[in-house]
Structure 1
Amino acid sequence: MSELVHPAHAGADSVSEQEFVDRAHARLDALRAEYRERQRATHASHGVGNAQGWTERDAIAAHLGEMAARLDHVEDRLVFGRLDMADTEVRYIGRASLPDEGGDPLLIDWRAPAAAPFYRATALDPQGVVRRRHLLTHGRQVVGLEDELLDASDKAGEHLDLQGEGALLAALGRAREGRMGDIVATIQAEQDRIIRADGDGLLVVQGGPGTGKTAVALHRAAYLLHARRERLERSGVLVVGPSRVFLRYIEKVLPSLGETGVVSLTVGDLVPGVRARGEEAVEVSRLKGRSAWVRLLARAVRTIVRIPEGDQVLQVWNRKVTLRREDVVRAVRKARRSGRPHNVAREAFALELMEVLATRLVVEAGDATSEAAVDGDDLSTWTQEVRDSIDARRTINLAWMPTSAMTLLERLWAKPGLLARLNDEVGSPFSRAELELLSRPRGSALTQADVPLLDELEELLGTTNVLEDQSARQRSRTHAAEVERAREAMESMNLGGGIVTAEMLARSATAADDLEPMSERAAKDRSWTYGHVVVDEAQDLGHMAWRALLRRCPSLSFTVVGDLDQARGESRPPSWKDALGPAARALAGEHVLSVSYRTPRTLTLLAEDVLARAGAPVLHPTTAVREVENCYRSLHVDGPGAPMAREKDPLWALAQEAVDRALARLDEAEGAGRGRIAVLVAGARAHAWDADTVGTSSLEDRVALLSATASKGLEFDSVVLVEPAEVLADGPGDLFVTLTRATHDLTVVHSRPLPAGMEEWSTE
């Protein structure tokens, strides 16, 4: 087991370690200053005297700036570990690799193979390590040391074998600050094996509350960015979370590990320009996640094409020409054989029919004896006449209308008859009752579960010509504006008449757009393919969401983390293979995190007991390493039961009282203003109390009012849970979530009877 350095040695050791920490920070400062100076010098240089040269200069300067920014992010707790090896080698472990003045290793990056024993060595398998030391720092000051002597004779008994136990428990006991911190100094062996696992295929990390699965996934992303730098810097890493508040909660972890080029999105943000802000019942979300939509949406797109019932006579210039039904059938068949999306294939369809009509007009005008003998010039002339004909354009458009994914999806939800007909045509995968749940008016806010369906339609439809034309016109206008700005700048500096023209300067400015960070370019591009994808709270994703994610990572390199016991709804997936749906084909391995580091033991046992009594026994129990005395209490008030506006609700007053008590406890234990509290509600009461139900709230406030769903993945020092019976009504998974968000204490306020098992655990 680990222990603090003996006081007799602490003074000398602290001085020695402080000297090393000072040296490492001095080297960090020097490297950072060097990068910034080189960046300034590069900006000041003229580069090669052409647009490409200036662009290359700017790219080099941007890279140097990025290197300096990475060093900015790793400054806090730069050095945190030391290994004394059996061969007398000493290795210092930190957040980044730093060379000394001669180029030799000074500080080893925690992700390097040489650092692995810091996380994996044990008394039974020391891996050449004699002593492992944790350096506890505040700013640039060493404030504590903790040593572990890896002696096989000092075998752990039945206690959990925790690496750096003192540092770990100190970190776990620290007050929350509204953002997740990294765990780089306290990674445990079972976590490290996952972090350093091979990046090929889909890796599942099953972990109950407090096991650190999110932190493990993020550190794994940082590790892969280090180990596969060249590949992943080009393609990037995508992190998918359950809500925007969750993404804000974790946003500082990867930068603190020196990685900034990561895209973070919810499923509702996967389609650029679309934000899912609506809500819906769990059963509706699950319906939208089913794989049956693959066939139904494909059918919906096919039905946009309308074959006329008979031949049609069209007016083209001063002539009449017949568009035969078989002409349309043949053109549709040919366009579909191309395999291109609907809006893209429409162009080939339209061109085919225009050529058919033009050929017929040439022959009927007597300019050719047969269709085979039509002259190219005549054909071109009459094709333009067909293109200009309102009659012909209308008829061709009606046969194969362009449309957008949003327009078609809104039609499906707003037209129950259309949806029912399509359902019948693909084998009726949905019941009539299920279809009724999907109906909603046009203009309703998109929900998270809508976006994968929208993405599927985007794939089936492709872009419309109208959009492409607008994009081209916009690019033309932008370039013209750049030329005008360049001309004015050259005139103001008397640069006219030289070898550099305004056009060249404008092209240089346009090329500079390519210097936009990869993460920003990727977030704007629906077709971007990532080198690796991290998915958190993955147990709640439907099959259609998995299809959207697989599209974005054809290499199938995924880290998937979640907890089947926290799945929403009345039922949960029995296994990860079932939960993954179409992504199960990429499953390369499954790891289970069995130790809960964050959640107090009492709350862990309470949550597991309540789920068992609710008929949903926990599939993956965990062993908690922490206990907090008096961490669970319940408060009862007589009330109407039905939710009402919070100002009139007696439960609101009781919840406020519980919050005030929690604030006082935190102020006394952690210091004034420190720590975070959440009030968690569910169902209609969440709306009556104006709680954040979709995860969009700020993390700056000390007290958050959230729905059970919006609290997923978050942690707080104290939690006030309101009417747990209402939470259970939304499913046992939601109740399991709310019972395990607290790192210190949980207070339940209620007017209705508590779910079975909760009353006897209370300490009040």
Structure 2
Amino acid sequence: MPAESADPSEPAVLAAERAHLAESRAALRRMREHAEGLSADVAADWVSKQFLESLLDQRVEALADHPDTPLFFGRMDRGGAAGSDLPAVMYVGRRHVHDGDEGRPLVLDWRAPVSRAFYQAGPADPMGWRLRRRFGFQAGELTAFEDEPLDGGGTRPGTGPSRILTDEIERPRTGPMRDIVATIQPEQDVIVRADLPRSVCVQGAPGTGKTAVGLHRAAYLLFTHRERLSRSGVLIVGPNRAFLAYIAAVLPALGEVRVEQATIDDLLGPPLGDEPADVAALKGDARMAGVLRRALWLHVRKPEEGLVVTRGAARYRLADHEIREIAAALRGTTRYGSGRAAFAQRLAHQILVRMERRGEAPDDRVQDQVARSRPVKQVLDAVWPKVSAEQVLHRLLSDADLLSRAAKGVLDEDEQAALLPARPARSHRSARWTAADRALLDELNDLIERTTSLGHLVVDEAQDLSAMQLRALGRRCATGSATVLGDLAQGTTAWSARTWKEVLAHLGQDGEVTELTLGFRVPGTVLDFAARLLPHVAPGLERPRSLRPGAGALTVRRVDDLAAATVEAARAALARPGSVGLIVPDARAGAHAAALEAAGLEHEVLGPESPGTGRLLVIPATLAKGLEYDHVIVAEPAAIAAAEARGLARLYVVLTRAVTTLAVLHEDDLPAELAEP
């Protein structure tokens, strides 16, 4: 808890710490002014100048001082046994701040190796430090402190968890997600600081901070491996645009402004059509990778005639069986596109061999000329035709014979029949590709030309991705590593993963799975209520626990008029600090919004592309994943559960979005699975 006012030294301590905060802010301002005064005119050419200007702009942006955001949140005091290379006092904050004249560090970046002790040190292993101090802030002003002895030389005031830590976790929120850099727990810090080459998979129960851990890991890796990752790139993949907008402020607040964010549809292309869930699940099956590979290579055909190349008065011939042998040697050993180019070159090389046998001395330029000659191009198009992913997939899904040949021994007859639409598109140009089709197209594109790999990939809500979508993401970190985040209990798609071992295998990554079960955001009473669904949606998972008991946080009421009751609950929630989310069945979002409008309550309806910025949001249940609100009202749980095949998993998601209070309102009976265990 904050230092008690009865301590006569408290005012002096607070005054000293506020003075250090003021000094640090002034130093940060000078650092920014210095960065703004730098010029890119020293660059040798226009391209270099543009690149340097971009770097300087990013540096200035990274040095922004946000008045409402504490510049530092902790302090460590050195113990007597610590090495002389450690500072006597270390302030830990969101970015490094130094005195411009002396170069003296005033605040150390939380990602620096020495700052690890702030999160990991304890009485059992003080790591050379004597005291940890946490700071409480209100509107950017330092208002309190709390000391925790690490060397056994004293006792911490009060009992139980840190009051400042708890206050920060429970602080009301509106707008985008905040960083958790001041509240990172030891088990989270281990994940955040895992080495770059190591892929990490986090199974996180609701409220355990898995999304925040993934974002802070990206910030840590960019700090530690700046040069390498600035070249290869870091990408955050989230479930929808609303989610990405919600988390968008976290990395800039930590000084990282060059991280790309995307949904799976952004990467693979937007779906243009829909299809039955069972068909989508079949297309998302990993077996489709083998079917696609075979379908593509079935386009390489046996030559029907030989090759004749005329050079001047001479004619050079290759028999059809020689062409077949060249194609067979290349077939399946390389990507289709590079194999086609190599095929043309090998045909040309054999012509050059024949020219040399006649005493000529052709060079590489002659081979390139032969490879581009009309006779070689004719053979190339007949034997190894140029194709696009769209052409191959359209033919596969509209040609029963090709599908039968490609799927032989992989898909049974019923599965093959399910893949053939009743009314196929006339051509690949008019096809209305579905979300599942997009992943198949990406697989084919990689079989034709290699996909570029990034340095690191962060994938959130990974349990909802199909095997084929995971393979697409795996190609984008094939030479890098990944941070995989999710909760098997929150899997809501037809192809949701059952184990993280499967997910990592489809990604092509070797990684260890860490399970986070201690929640910090969701009150205990709310988490216990939602956990009644766990045996039905993910029986193998450990029951989550909450750091906060949450007495009085949960109310469950049967009502006669649901619309009126939700309006009343929303009005009551708005009277308290923080954000309010009214989560409703998708089909009833409009009706609930109309009820709020009639009652004169200002609100917004969350959409797939709109994050919502107001205090009161109407949230369709299918968009609630990954979001959190101080006060949540859930309308008609039974309708949410009945709306889709994995509706109980969707309901589990919905019931775990609250940080402070949850009100469950219903006219119909609650789902039987929510009954008291």
Q: TM-score, structure 2 length as denominator?
A: 0.82
Q: Deviations over 1:228-261 (max 9, x none)?
A: 2232222222222222222221111111111122
Partner of 1:419, secondary structure, is helix
Aligned to 1:207: 204
- Residue-by-residue CA offset, 1:111-165 (whole Å, 9 max, x unaligned): 1232223222334443344432222334552233333344749889xx9x64xx3
Do structure 1's residue 83 and structure 2's residue 76 form an aligned pair? yes
Letter in 1 for 2:75: R
- The answer for the alignment partner of 1:455 in structure 2 is 442
Contact 2:478 2:508 in 1 (8 A): no
Q: 1:383 to 1:171 in 2, by over 3 A?
A: closer
Q: Is 1:429 matched with 2:351? A: no
- Partner amino acid for 1:619? L
Task: Tell me: higher relative CO, structure 1 or 2? Use CA pairs within 8 A at least 6 residues apart.
Answer: 1
Does residue 631 of structure 2 align to residue 720 of structure 1? no
- Indicate if the aligned counterparts of 2:218 and 2:458 stay in contact, CA closer than 8 A: yes
SS at match of 2:208: coil
Distance 2:370 2:120 in 1: 76
**Matching of residue 400 in structure 1 with residue 393 in structure 2:** no
- Contact conserved, 2:463 with 2:487, CA < 8 A, in 1? yes
Q: Which residue of 1 aligns with 2:117?
A: 117
Aligned 8 A contact 2:570 2:633 in 1: no
Look up the SS of the partner of 1:270 in the other structure: helix
Identify the residue that residue 412 of structure 1 maps to in structure 2.
396
Would you say the 8 A contact 1:725–1:752 is kept in 2?
A: no
Kept in 2, the 8 Å contact 1:5–1:145? The answer is no
Indicate if the aligned counterparts of 1:357 and 1:386 stay in contact, CA closer than 8 A.
Answer: no
Deviation for aligned residue 1:330: 4.0
Q: What is the alpha-carbon distance in structure 2 between the residues aligned to residue 328 and residue 73 of structure 1?
A: 68
1:108 counterpart SS class: strand
* Letter of the structure 1 residue corresponding to residue 94 of structure 2: R
In the aligned structure 2, how far is the partner of 1:91 from the partner of 1:382? 67
CA distance in 2, matches of 1:619, 1:269: 32
Report the 3-state secondary structure (helix = DSSP H, G, I; strand = E; otherwise coil) of the residue aligned with 1:198. coil
1:611 to 508, 530, 534: 534
Change (3 A) 1:58 1:134: same
Look up the match of 1:664. 571
CA-atom RMSD, angstroms? 4.2
State whether structure 2 residue 265 is matched by structure 1 residue 268.
yes
Match of 2:60 in 1: 68
Q: Superposition pairs for residues 643-662 of structure 1, below 5 Å?
A: 654=562, 656-662=563-569
Letter in 1 for 2:77: D
1:742 corresponding residue in structure 2: 658
| Partners of 2:93 and 2:110 within 8 A in 1 | yes
Distance 1:396 1:141 in 2: 72
In 2 relative to 1, CA 383–228 (structure 1 residues): closer, same or farther, beyond 3 Å? Answer: closer
Q: 1:123 to 1:314 in 2, by over 3 A?
A: closer
What does 1:77-226 correspond to in 2, within 5 Å? 77-87=70-80, 89-100=88-99, 101-138=101-138, 140-150=140-150, 152=152, 162=161, 165-226=162-223
Q: Could you say which structure has the higher helix fraction? A: 1
Summarize the Cα distance change of 1:5–1:147 in structure 2 as closer, same or farther, 3 Å threshold.
Answer: farther
Q: Note closer, same or farther for the CA distance 1:556–1:33 as it changes in structure 2 (3 Å cut).
A: closer
Question: In 1, are the aligned partners of 2:98 and 2:106 still within 8 Å (CA)?
Answer: yes
Report the Cα offset of residue 572 of structure 1: 6.4
> Secondary structure, in 3 states, of the residue corresponding to 1:167?
helix
Instruction: Read off the aligned partner of 1:22 and give its amino acid letter.
Output: A
- Measured after TM superposition, the shift of residue 176 of structure 1 is 3.1
CA distance in 1, matches of 2:2, 2:329: 76
Deviations 1:487-532 (A, max 9, x none): xxxxxxxxxxxxxxxxxxxxxxxxxxxxxxxxxxxxxxx51x3222
One-letter identity of the residue aligned with 1:730: R
Q: SS of 1:590's equivalent?
A: strand
- Within-5 A mapping of 1:475-514: none
Q: Alpha-carbon deviation of 1:459?
A: 1.6
SS at 1:669 equivalent: coil
- The two structures have a TM-score, normalised by structure 1, of 0.74
- The corresponding residue for 2:84 is none
Preserved CA contact (<8 Å) 1:328 1:353: yes
**Is contact 2:584-2:618 (8 Å) kept?**
yes
Q: Deviations over 1:730-754 (max 9, x none)?
A: 2543222122122233344556542
State whether residues 315 and 321 of structure 1, in contact with CA within 8 Å, keep that contact through their aligned partners in structure 2.
yes
- In the alignment, structure 1 residue 543 sits paired with structure 2 residue 467: yes
In structure 2, runs of 5+ residues without a counterpart are 81-86, 594-603
Cα deviation digits, residues 604-643 of structure 1 (max 9, x gap): 111111332x374361222112205152324456xxxxxx
1:13 aligned onto 2:13: yes
**TM superposition shift of 1:286:** 3.6
- Aligned-residue offset at 1:23: 0.3
Pair 24,203 (structure 1): closer, same or farther in 2 beyond 3 Å: same
Distance 1:687 1:293 in 2: 39
Q: Which amino acid aligns with 2:462?
A: A
Matches within 5 A, 1:198-597: 198-271=195-268, 274-276=269-271, 283-307=278-302, 325-326=320-321, 328-333=323-328, 335-336=330-331, 339-350=333-344, 372-373=357-358, 396-416=380-400, 418-424=402-408, 427-430=409-412, 432-433=414-415, 435-436=417-418, 439=421, 441-442=424-425, 443=430, 445-462=432-449, 526-527=451-452, 529-568=453-492, 573=497, 575-583=499-507, 586-587=510-511, 589-597=512-520
AA paired with 2:224? A
Unaligned stretches of 5+ residues in structure 1: 361-369, 464-525, 638-652
Once the two structures are TM-superposed, the CA of residue 729 in structure 1 deviates from its matched residue by 3.5
Between 1:322-331 and 1:74-83, the stretch displaced more is: 322-331
Give the direction of change, closer, same or farther, for the CA distance of 1:382–1:566 in structure 2 (3 Å limit).
closer
Aligned residues: 647
Q: For the Cα contact (< 8 Å) 1:202–1:559, is it kept in 2? A: yes
How far does residue 166 in structure 1 lie from its aligned partner after superposition? 2.2
SS in 2 for 1:729: coil
